[in-house]
Amino acid sequence: MPGEIYIASIDQGTTSTRFLIYDKSARVIGSHQIEFTQFYPEAGWVEHDPMEILESVRSCISKAVDKATADGHNVDSGLKAIGLTNQRETTVVWSKSTGCPLYNAIVWMDARTSSVCRKLEKELSGGRTHFVESCGLPLSTYFSAVKLLWLMENKVEVKAAIENGDALFGTIDTWLIWNLTGGVNGGLHVTDVSNASRTMLMNLKTLDWDKTTLKTLGIPAEILPKIVSNAEVIGKISKGWPVFDVPIAGCLGDQHAAMVGQACLKGEAKSTYGTGAFIMLNTGTEPVKSNHGLLTTLAFKLGPNSPTNYALEGSIAIAGAAVQWLRDSLGIISSASEIESLASKVDSTGGVYFVPAFNGLFAPWWRDDARGVCIGITRFTSKSHIARAVLESMCFQVKDVLDSMHKDAGEKGEVKTEKGEFLLRVDGGATVNNLLMQIQADLLGSPVVRPADIETTALGAAYAAGIAVGVWKEDELFASGHKLSTSTTFSPTLSEEKRKKKVDSWCKAVERTFGLADLES
């Protein structure tokens, strides 16, 4: 429509890519989503084709613009900026001269680097916590640095390109921005503070690459991108894309974008339910060290001169991915949305507990030797009980993380309701499942609040871009985050006695997963 102002988001996730166009009231006026291929070359390995991801972005932009235009919106003249949000830690190395990836992208949940981690643990003085002081992260298969080391050690193309000065390293945001801004013809090699904070290579206080870490790991600084804030004009999209000359003005890792989309101020937490589940608590302008298995990480920095907000985070590798496993591997359901009705046919799991440690367990356990278990099965057990146990597994894992968060943050680090309850904001595709949300409230013993727009990851990236180009103001957006009138609140109904009994059984089930990776041939 004439005179309208639009902000758009590229939301590049683990299993799909989306492009969403928002009006000035943050209403979606056009969107498109595409799933892309997951590659599993070996047990515990997960890869993506960077070129397929690039093509999915191109297609989503084109089709979303077409839809908005067909509805009478003049996107070509009204689009002021684009924000980008992405799956974090997923690692790409490509040729500067050809623009081609030197290997598939190694996905964040990939566990092939366990031997790299064990080797470093033995060699480094602090073992698993050697780099925690600088980057807030333990040695784990999760983070980008060890994936890069694996590529350097195992792929001759990568090693040769680094030696020849032809290699560029990046997470998915960096790969996309480089291609969107020209690629081999002057593409910008950039990442943002939130994605950089997940590599193990950025110093949390200086917000720059840590020279000591790079030297220790033998990673050359020349292959690393420039680090920028989450809300600033990075560069313009080059010709050849469905939209061009539009500034990329916001960039955040997906969980950080969700924090902005949920307007989480200091002491407020959100949980995003997607392929994995990710819980973050804004701890303010000072990093808080975790003593209970969580990550100290950056929350967001909405402008070069804006204050840096930090967070405690608990990452869960398998959440919605367990539902996809029921669909794709077991055939128990034919679509992900069916799980709610199937699980609703029973009022309990019948004593079944499912722990989806497919590639190990992340926070707060950090056991890459764990593998999935389903226990408590009897002749009474039906597929409905298993479906409900899968939903419960997502909620138990979130509770494990939040319990650790409460211990780390303490009473002063959390905002509570007038009733003294801790309120959890939720978002992500799986939150449309009302049963899942009720189970979550029951297992937490505290309210769960779902916003009207559950896709807060894409919204957060749009907010960041809009802030950078002056469409929105940061203080206004964060003030509006407290208007919960259009939200849905799920309140706990489970008794404390039953909650404790279920949690005790869950913990026993988790312990059964430990060491099972050793059984692999």
- Quick one: tokens of 472? 């929105």
- For range 364-390, the mean pLDDT: 93
The answer to whether 440 and 447 have CB atoms below 8 angstroms apart is no
Alpha helix stretches (DSSP H) within 126-196: 132-135, 144-154, 156-163, 172-180, 193-196
Nearest to 452 by CA among 259, 261, 271: 261
At the fourth CATH level, the homologous superfamily of domain 320-399+497-519 is: ATPase, nucleotide binding domain (3.30.420.40)
The confidence band for 366, taking pLDDT boundaries of 50, 70 and 90, is confident
pLDDT mean over 407-429: 73
Label residue 2 by pLDDT band (50, 70, 90): low
d(CA 399, CA 271): 10
Give the separation between CA 300 and CA 198, rounded to whole angstroms. 13
Which of the listed ranges 168-172, 408-412, 480-484 does the model predict with the highest average pLDDT?
Answer: 168-172
**What pLDDT is attached to residue 317?**
85
Taking CA atoms, 505 is separated from 59, 237, 369, 392, 450, in Å, by: 47, 53, 21, 12, 28
Both tokens of 315, joined, read: 């990452």
Q: Are strands 16-23 and 6-12 parallel, antiparallel or unpaired?
A: antiparallel
d(CA 285, CA 198): 18
Put residue 298 in one of left, alpha, beta given phi > 0 → left and psi -120 to 50 → alpha.
beta
Residues 431, 357, 84, 48: is their CA dihedral positive or negative?
Answer: negative
Q: How confident is the model at residue 416 (pLDDT cuts 50, 70, 90)?
A: low
User: To which H or E segment does residue 284 belong?
Assistant: strand 277-284
Residue 161 pLDDT > 90, yes or no? yes
- CATH number attached to the domain at 91-228: 3.30.420.40
Q: Which pLDDT score is estimated for 420?
A: 63
* pLDDT tens string 467-516: 999 999 988 888 865 444 478 999 999 999 999 999 999 999 999 999 99
Which whole number is the average pLDDT over 131-141?
Answer: 91
Provide the token pair at 68.
């908005």
CATH for 1-86+230-262+451-490 is 3.30.420.40
Amino acid code (one letter) for 10? I
Residue listed under structure tokens 């608990």? 314
Ranges in the chain annotated CATH 3.30.420.40: 1-86+230-262+451-490, 91-228, 320-399+497-519
- Mean pLDDT of all residues in 162-183: 97
Tell me the mean pLDDT in the region 15-42. 94
- pLDDT exceeds 90 at position 3: no
pLDDT digits (tens, 9 = 90+) for 309-333: 999 999 888 888 899 999 999 999 9
CA pair distance 361, 467, nearest whole angstrom: 37
